[in-house]
Amino acid sequence: MPRKSTRLTFAVLATGAGVFAMLQSLIAPALPTVQHTLHTSQSTATWVMTAYLLSASVFTPILGRVGDLIGKKRTLVAVLLTVLAGCLLAALAPSIGVLIVARVVQGVGGALFPLSFGIIRDEFAPAQVSGSISNLSAVIAAGGGVGIVAAGPIVSALDYRWLFWIPVAIVALTTLIALRYVPESPNRAEGNVGWLGAALLSAWLVALLLPLSQAGQWGWGSARVIGLFAVAVALFALWLLAEARSRTPLIDLRVMRLPAVWTTNTAALLFGAGMYAIWSFLPGFVQTPASAGYGFGASVTEAGLLMLPMLVAMFLSGVLSGRLEPVLGAKTLLITGAALGAVACGFLALWHDRPWQVAFVAGVFGLGIGLAFAAMANLIVGSVPAAQTGAATGMNANIRTIGGSIGAAVTSVLVTGRLQPSGLPYDSGYTHGFALLAVLCLAAALAALLVPARRPGRPAVPARSADNAPDTAPQPATPATRG
């Protein structure tokens, strides 16, 4: 049962997670400005994004597990302070090297997602858990959209450094409130951090994501890309072996094998591929000069405004999903969200001649993102023991990020594979890219069909003490029926 104000606790969690989600996309539209101001090359400037991605992928599951072990509030405050330091360093960065280091520090904030979901599960009444997770997921989803929309006006009116000064003020206040009002969760996992598993997990994630993010510059057939992929496969196999043999694994593979977990993670991988690729390429499409035969020559600010319907739809559908989940079930919402993404990308492949068409399709995709984000979080939280909430939700976020990196990389190949004499992509490249994303989202909907369905009307599982965690393979705490 809640011991303090759940509304205030939720406000703290939503602010922290929302700021981190915003930081993911906030700097992307401003990269050309950063490149010019700090006198660096385009290839070096892209590391501002890559460093953040790699850092978040490493720290999200590790600190989610640390929170399960030593206390989620304690870990939450430490992560907020780290994000604060990263934003302050970025705002003051005198060179591109310092800015890249600052982005690595900011990436630690990826752990805010699993820690927030775990605190909600531990502190809120069972009847509040599903709706609160849906609302938090809506904030996280909308945060990425806010970054895309807000970057242009902030850079135009102030300076790119204010993309970090504003989060400094917000995160500082959030940290103070968290220290005073967020209660420490009573549920703790047993054991300690499996540092061998953490090291191997970090290594294979970096070896996988680094070539995916840099292949456009290094070349897909280059020795670096092929070699890193081979290293990633080998390290992944070693990680699986180490985790299976460990008495205190970082990621309990028995939990990952639960039907509701692996099917949801599969859908997350596929849907993440479509979602992040849309975020990456749709603004570039609308900013392309009309002389290329497509595009609208939009400014960064105008491109953000065309993405505004996606932002609004993401937030509204995420909040609405909390009301719909007890009636329809999270599985149905995940299928619907992925299907809406497929419909949006399919229409976009055929229907992108006018700005209003792009804005409309962006809104449809936003509805899908809001529903899918909330459903995935509820399915994971409702299917794992309380002591595994942080690690399991952190891994789900990571898998979605991996999918996003794959989707963005493959879409980049299709878009930039053939260039006009002007150096701009052909319209057919975007058309093929959007069609591929429609297929990926459709595959996510099909994967969601395999998710075991909890009976509508049942809340997510209540928190369980780590002392009661099973010694054998854990089972979903809520009986499930196959759907």
pLDDT in tens, 341-353: 999 999 999 989 9
What is the C-alpha end-to-end distance of the chain, expressed in Å? 31
| Residues in CB range of 57: below 8 A, 6 or more apart | 107, 110, 205, 206, 209, 398, 401, 402
- Per-domain boundaries in the chain: 6-193+248-468, 194-247
pLDDT of residue 191: 67
| pTM (whole model) above 0.75 | yes
> How high is the pLDDT of residue 67?
87
pLDDT of residue 47: 84
The position carrying tokens 């099973």 is 470
Domain 6-193+248-468: top CATH class: mainly alpha
Single-letter amino acid, residue 308: L
Residues 6+ apart with CB under 8 A from 472: none
pLDDT recorded at residue 466: 37
Q: Is the dihedral of CA 209, 212, 218, 222 positive or negative?
A: positive
Q: What distance in Å separates the CA atoms of residue 356 and residue 287, rounded to the nearest whole number?
A: 14
Secondary structure class of 366 (helix, strand, coil):
helix
Which residues neighbour 329 within 8 Å (Cβ) at sequence distance 6 or greater? Answer: 453, 454, 455, 456, 483
Question: CA-CA distance, 466 to 464, in Å (whole number)?
Answer: 6
- Mean pLDDT of successive 10-residue stretches along the chain, which has 483 residues: 69 89 82 85 79 84 85 92 96 94 92 88 85 85 79 84 93 92 76 80 88 81 92 94 84 85 94 84 86 86 84 88 87 95 94 91 92 89 81 83 83 82 87 93 95 60 39 38 34
Distance of alpha carbon 481 from alpha carbon 130, whole angstroms = 18
What is residue 455's predicted lDDT score, i.e. its pLDDT? 55
CB 252 within 8 A of CB 391: yes
Beta-carbon contacts of residue 395 (< 8 Å; ≥ 6 apart): 61, 64, 251, 256, 265
Task: Write out pLDDT tens, residues 29-88.
Answer: 788 888 888 988 867 887 888 888 888 888 888 888 888 888 889 999 999 999 999 999
